[in-house]
C-alpha cells in the first residue's frame, strides 16, 4: 500500500535504509513509524527538533497550540506544511506523552519564574526596609552620598564585626559550655549563694533555740600537738567518701601517705611518727567494724596510749566527728547493701566491757548472709539493727543497760537514747549531713582551720534513690526509724543554724576589717598632711601669724585629730592582741554583737 500524496510530498524521495537497518515492511502503520524514526535520526530534521522538545530555558507557555489526536490543518508556511503531516504520522500514545511532557515543562518554568520574581520582590522590599531603618538611626550619614551604597556598606561592616566577635569568642572560650553559661547569664538572674544543695531555701524557720556556744564551733586543733580527730562512721551515710577526703584531700604540711592498692594511709604529725586521725582509712577498724559512740569512747584512749605508762600519757583532746543522713534514704541504702551480701559480722557491739549475747541480740537470718532478701522481710525482722541505727550509734548505751531490753520499759528507753544522742551530737566537735556536701565542707574548714584541696561533690543519684516505693512503704520505714527521724530533724536544724551563724560572723569580720583599713589609711593621710603643714608654719612663724590670726585654733584642732588618731591606732593594736588571745573575756565581748544580731534574727523568723 502506497503512502498518501501529502506524506509523499513532505518526505520527498523515499529514504534508503542504512546498512544494518531493518528491512522495509508491508505494514503501513509500522512502515510510517520506521520512516519517521529514520527521518528524525538525521541532524537538522524537523522530526528531531520536535522529539527533542524546546531548548533549555525556553518555554512556549500555556498558549501554545496543543498536540491533538486529530491531524492538524496544513499551514501556509513551508515549515508548517512540513510539520503538520509529520505529527499526524506519530502514534496516538506517543502524541499524548509528548503533550503531557510539554505541560509539565511549562509548569516548571512558571514555578521557577514565580519563585525568581518573588525573591527579587522580597529582596527589594527588604532593602527598602533596611534603608529606612538606617536612615532613622544614621540620619546624618544617610544624607551624604548615595543611601543604598552607604546602607550596603554599613550592613556589610556589621556582618563582618559579628563574624569577628564569633571567632574571638571561639578562641577565648572554646566549646559550647562557656557559651551556654553566657547565654544563661543573660537570660536568668544570678543564683542565690545561700541556696542549698537540695533546692530548698536556706532561710528556714528554726525549731530549736541554741546558745552561742552551741552555734560557734571553733576547735583549737594543733596537728603538731597531741589532740586526735576520731571519725564515727555510721553505715550508709556517705562516711566512706568523707573518710577519703580526710586522708587525700586536705592541705597539710605533711600530707597522708597513701599507697596504691592499700586502703589505709599513713597520717603522721609533722616531725612525729604518731597519727592525728583515728578513722577507717588511717588506723583501720581498730575498735571493731563501724564502732559506735559507746565503743569508741572506751576503746580509742586504750588503743592510742595503751602501750605507754599511765604517768607518761599526754593529756589529749579527742575531737569526735560524724556524718548523718536522711533516715529513709539510709535505710533503703542499707537494705540494698545487705541484698548484695553485706553482714557486718565483724562488728563487736561491745558495751560495758562485753559483747551482747545471742538472746540479747538475735540474728535476722540463718545462713551465712542475708543476700537477696526482699524489702518486706527486711522490715519484718524486729531485731534488725538498721532500725534507728543513727540514734543507737550516737547514744551512750550504758545508760539503758546496753542491749538488755528488760532493764527499763521501751518508751523510757527510747526517750533516754534519743536525748543522749542529741546531747552527744551537739557537743561533738563537728558533724555533717550527706544532703549538704558544700556546707559540710565549709563548716569543717571553719571548725578545724583546715582547708580541703578540691570541693565536695553533691551526688543526688544514689542506689537508694533508684528504689521506687509507694507512700505506704515510706510511712512504715519512717515508723521503724521514728527515733532517727527526730534526731535528723534536730541535727538539720542545728546544722543550718551553725552554717548561717558562721556565714554572718565571717561577713561581719570582713566588714570590720575593711572599716579598720579605711580608718587606718585615713589617719595616715591626715597625719602626713598636718605634719607637712606644721613644718611649713615652723619655718615662717611671723609670716604665718600675720596671715592667719586663727593659727592657735588650727593647731588645737590638729592636736585633737592627732590624739584621736593615736587612740584609734591603740584600739586597733588592742583588738589585734585580743584576736591572738581568744580565751580572754574581751574577745568574747567583741564577737557578742554578731551573736546577738543572729539570735535576734532567729526571733524575727519565729
Q: Are 287 and 299 in contact (CB under 8 A)?
A: yes
* Residue-level length of the chain: 606
DSSP, collapsed to helix, strand or coil, labels residue 351 as strand
Q: Which residues are tagged catalytic? A: 290
With b for 16 or more beta-carbon neighbours within 10 A and e for fewer, the 4-42 pattern comes to eeeeeebbeeeeeeeeeeeeeeeeeeeebbbbbebbbee
Provide the edge-to-edge strand list for the sheet that holds 228-232: 277-278, 228-232, 318-324, 430-433
With b for 16 or more beta-carbon neighbours within 10 A and e for fewer, the 263-298 pattern comes to eebebbbeeeeebbbbbbbbbeebbbbbbbbbbbbb
Helix pair 585-605, 482-539: axis angle to 10 deg = 120
Q: Which of 48, 46, 51 is nearest to 11 (CA)?
A: 46
Q: Are 90 and 68 in contact (CB under 8 A)?
A: no
Phi, psi of 577 (to 5 degrees): -70, -35
Q: Are 53 and 101 in contact (CB under 8 A)?
A: yes
Chain centroid to CA 30: how far? 82
What's the Rg (C-alpha) of the chain? Answer: 48
Phi, psi of 467 (to 5 degrees): -85, 125
Phi, psi of 45 (to 5 degrees): -80, 160
Please report, to the nearest 10 degrees, the dihedral formed by the alpha carbons of residues 525, 527, 532, 534 taken in order: 150
The CA-based angle 408-411-416, given to 5 degrees, is: 75
Q: Euclidean distance between the first and final Cα of the chain, in Å?
A: 120
Proportion of the chain in helix, strand, coil states, percent, rounded to 5: 55, 5, 40
Kind and range of the H or E run holding 520: helix 482-539
Sign of the Cα pseudo-torsion (49, 52, 56, 59, in order):
positive
Give the DSSP letter of residue 320.
E
Q: DSSP string of 19-63?
A: TTPPPP-S-HHHHHHHHHHHHHHSTT-HHHHHHH-SPTT----TT
Q: 440 is written with which cell numbers?
A: 559540710
Q: Rounded to an integer, what distance in angstroms lies between the CA atom of residue 180 and that of residue 176?
A: 6
The CA-based angle 281-286-287, given to 5 degrees, is: 120
| Phi/psi-derived region of residue 175, left when phi > 0, alpha when psi is between -120 and 50, beta in every other case | left
70 beta partners? none
Amino acid at each position: 500500500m502506497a503512502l498518501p500524496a501529502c506524506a509523499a510530498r513532505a518526505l520527498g524521495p523515499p529514504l534508503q535504509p542504512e546498512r544494518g537497518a531493518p528491512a522495509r515492511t508491508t505494514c503501513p502503520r509500522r512502515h510510517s513509524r520506521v520512516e519517521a524514526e529514520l527521518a528524525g535520526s538525521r541532524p537538522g530534521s524537523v522530526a528531531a527538533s520536535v522529539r527533542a522538545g524546546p531548548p533549555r530555558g525556553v518555554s512556549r507557555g500555556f498558549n501554545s497550540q496543543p498536540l491533538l489526536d486529530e491531524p492538524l490543518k496544513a499551514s501556509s508556511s513551508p515549515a508548517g506544511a512540513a510539520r503538520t503531516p509529520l505529527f499526524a504520522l506519530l502514534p496516538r500514545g506517543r502524541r499524548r506523552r509528548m503533550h503531557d511532557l510539554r505541560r509539565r515543562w511549562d509548569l516548571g518554568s512558571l514555578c521557577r519564574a514565580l519563585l525568581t520574581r518573588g525573591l527579587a520582590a522580597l529582596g527589594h522590599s527588604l532593602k527598602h526596609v533596611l534603608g529606612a531603618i538606617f536612615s532613622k538611626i544614621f540620619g546624618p550619614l544617610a544624607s551624604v552620598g548615595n543611601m543604598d551604597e552607604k546602607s550596603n556598606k554599613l550592613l556589610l561592616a556589621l556582618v563582618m564585626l559579628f563574624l569577628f566577635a564569633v571567632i574571638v569568642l571561639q578562641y577565648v572560650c572554646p566549646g559550647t559550655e562557656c557559651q551556654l553559661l553566657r547565654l544563661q547569664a543573660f537570660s536568668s538572674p544570678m543564683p542565690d549563694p545561700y541556696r542549698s544543695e537540695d533546692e530548698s531555701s536556706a532561710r528556714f524557720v528554726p525549731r530549736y533555740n541554741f546558745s552561742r556556744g552551741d552555734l560557734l564551733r571553733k576547735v583549737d586543733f594543733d596537728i603538731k600537738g597531741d589532740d586526735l580527730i576520731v571519725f564515727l562512721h555510721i553505715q550508709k551515710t556517705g562516711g566512706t567518701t568523707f573518710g577519703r577526703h580526710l586522708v587525700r584531700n586536705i592541705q597539710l604540711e605533711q600530707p597522708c601517705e597513701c599507697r596504691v592498692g592499700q586502703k589505709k594511709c599513713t597520717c603522721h604529725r609533722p616531725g612525729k611518727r604518731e597519727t592525728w586521725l583515728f578513722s577507717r582509712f588511717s588506723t583501720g577498724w581498730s575498735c571493731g567494724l563501724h564502732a559506735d559512740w559507746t565503743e569508741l569512747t572506751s576503746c580509742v584512749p586504750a588503743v592510742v596510749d595503751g602501750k605507754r605508762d599511765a604517768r607518761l600519757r599526754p593529756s589529749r583532746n579527742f575531737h569526735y566527728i560524724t556524718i548523718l543522713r536522711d533516715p529513709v534514704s539510709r535505710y533503703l541504702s542499707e537494705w540494698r547493701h545487705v541484698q548484695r551480701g553485706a553482714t557486718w559480722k565483724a562488728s563487736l557491739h561491745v558495751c560495758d566491757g562485753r559483747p551482747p549475747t545471742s538472746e540479747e541480740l538475735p540474728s535476722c537470718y540463718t545462713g551465712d548472709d542475708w543476700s537477696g532478701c526482699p524489702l518486706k522481710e527486711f522490715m519484718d525482722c524486729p531485731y534488725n539493727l538498721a532500725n534507728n541505727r543513727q540514734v543507737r550509734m550516737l547514744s551512750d548505751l550504758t545508760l539503758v543497760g546496753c542491749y538488755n531490753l528488760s532493764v527499763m520499759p521501751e518508751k523510757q528507753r527510747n526517750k533516754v537514747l534519743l536525748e543522749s544522742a542529741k546531747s552527744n551530737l551537739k557537743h561533738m566537735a563537728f558533724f555533717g549531713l550527706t544532703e549538704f556536701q558544700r556546707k559540710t565542707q565549709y563548716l569543717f574548714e571553719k571548725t578545724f582551720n583546715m582547708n580541703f584541696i578540691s570541693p565536695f561533690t553533691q551526688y543526688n543519684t544514689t542506689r537508694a534513690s533508684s528504689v521506687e516505693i509507694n507512700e505506704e512503704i515510706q510511712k512504715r520505714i519512717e515508723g521503724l526509724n521514728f527515733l532517727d527521724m527526730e534526731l535528723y530533724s534536730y541535727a538539720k536544724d542545728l546544722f543550718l543554724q551553725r552554717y548561717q551563724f558562721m556565714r554572718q560572723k565571717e561577713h561581719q569580720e570582713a566588714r570590720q576589717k575593711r572599716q579598720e583599713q579605711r580608718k587606718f589609711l585615713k589617719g595616715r593621710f591626715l597625719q602626713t598632711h598636718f605634719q607637712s603643714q606644721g613644718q611649713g608654719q615652723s619655718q615662717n612663724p611671723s609670716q604665718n601669724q600675720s596671715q592667719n590670726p586663727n593659727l592657735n585654733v588650727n593647731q588645737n584642732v590638729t592636736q585633737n585629730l592627732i590624739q584621736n588618731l593615736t587612740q584609734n591606732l591603740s584600739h586597733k593594736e588592742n583588738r589585734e592582741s585580743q584576736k591572738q588571745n581568744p580565751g580572754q573575756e574581751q574577745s568574747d565581748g567583741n564577737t557578742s554583737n554578731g551573736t546577738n544580731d543572729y539570735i535576734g534574727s532567729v526571733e524575727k523568723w519565729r
